[in-house]
Structure 1
Amino acid sequence: MGRTLAVGAVVFGGVTLLGVPLGLLWWLIAPRPEATVTSQGLAYYPLSQTWFAVDGYYSIMMLVAGLVVGYTCYLLQQRISHRHRLDLRLATLLGLAAGTVAGSFTAWGVGAGLDFHAAERALALAAPGDVVPAGLTLRAHSALLLWSFSAVLQYGLFEALMLRQSDKAREAEKTAEEAAAPQEGRPSAA
């Protein structure tokens, strides 16, 4: 029980930490939307496609990260389970699900946090009517679940494939045993 909890905690921590480089990557590659300075603050209308591109970059990164992390965690879990004769599937899956949610929030915080001060400085120096970069922000909060969704889906698909293969192997073994059983009981015709 202690080993399975430790594996789940390691998966959770490792996957959560992956949010830091993902947030940095989002900050580096995502376009910066622009906003117009008014006397009351920033005006975000009319919305440009850049606002949607920011969410799109984040979403695509999280989907790809989920596929890679789900596949990697499943393979590592299989290897460790076979080596130590432990069933680590549930602990790994729970650590993966919780870690990807925490990692998504970490990536969002890192990306938006790195842009926060630059956007605040640009706003402080701007006069009403100026157009300034607004900084990264995630408007589609549902994108925070994409990493978890794709990772758990990938992990589950591999588990289903492995269960299907083991079922087929058991059926083939059972068929071979049934075919050999009647021949053992028959007397030889010599």
Structure 2
Amino acid sequence: MARQVRAFAVTFLVLAALGVAAGLLWSYLAPRAPYMVTPQGTTLADLTTQALIGADGWFAAITGGIGVVCGVVGWLVSRRGTQLAVLAGLAAGGVAAALLTLWVGSAFTLGAVTVEASAVPGAKIVPGSLRLTASGVLVAWAFMATALFGVLEAVAGYRESPLRQPYGVRPEEWDGGSRTL
């Protein structure tokens, strides 16, 4: 039991640490939407901007890509008896890592921040902070990690399965089809 708890905790903590690095990467790569400062507050300067969708896309690409790597590494390092703990760690850690990625990426501004010119003369334009408009991308990390882990485990399980030998006949027992029933 202690081995499973340790496997879960290590997996969870490694993914959480990767979430901080992914947040910094997202902050560096994702575009920021331009906002116009008005007396009423800030408002989106360009209603046709694709920066909001671009930020969601970069978030999904970064977290999904890291999720694929985590799924493969998790499957490779898991031992007999700890696969379920590692899988649970990938699921819970993937959600925690995605939330950390969102928080870190929104809190820090890295990379080049460009702001488009305003259509309103004399208006002050500032770059907005990163945020997600499609909250469904928060599950990309956990989904990709657990899905790939499951696929790899299914392939490995099939290799050991008696279903590989049709009709229960081993290849060395096969006489080329001349067997009569």
Counterpart position of 1:58: 59
Question: Alpha-carbon deviations, 1:28-50, whole Å to 9, x = none?
Answer: 11112101112111112514011
Counterpart position of 1:88: 82
Counterpart position of 1:147: 141
112, 124, 133: which is aligned to 1:130? 124
**Post-superposition offset of 1:95:** 0.6
Change (3 A) 1:170 1:139: closer
Q: Give TM-score, length-normalised by structure 2.
A: 0.81
Code of the aligned partner of 2:31? P
**Post-superposition offset of 1:129:** 2.4
Structure 1 unaligned blocks of 5 or more:
120-127, 180-190
Structure 2 unaligned blocks of 5 or more:
114-121, 174-181
How many Å separate the matches in 2 of 1:9 and 1:153? 20
Counterpart position of 2:10: 10
Code of the aligned partner of 1:129? A
Equivalent pairs, count: 160
3-state SS of 1:135 partner: coil
**Post-superposition offset of 1:153:** 0.7
Question: Alpha-carbon deviations, 1:95-152, whole Å to 9, x = none?
Answer: 110000000000111110113xxx9xxxxxxxx8211111211221111111111111
3-state SS of 1:36 partner: strand
86, 89, 105: which is aligned to 1:111? 105
Identical aligned residues as a percent: 32
Counterpart position of 1:74: 75
How many Å separate the matches in 2 of 1:168 and 1:58? 42
3-state SS of 2:37 partner: strand
How many Å separate the matches in 2 of 1:107 and 1:143? 11
User: How well do the aligned residues superpose, as a CA RMSD in angstroms?
Assistant: 2.3
Q: Higher helix share goes to which structure?
A: 1
Question: Alpha-carbon deviations, 1:2-48, whole Å to 9, x = none?
Answer: 11111111111111110011001011111121011121111125140
How many Å separate the matches in 1 of 2:61 and 2:14? 21
CA contact (8 A) 2:158 2:164 kept: no
**Post-superposition offset of 1:166:** 0.7
Q: Give TM-score, length-normalised by structure 1.
A: 0.77
Counterpart position of 1:24: 24
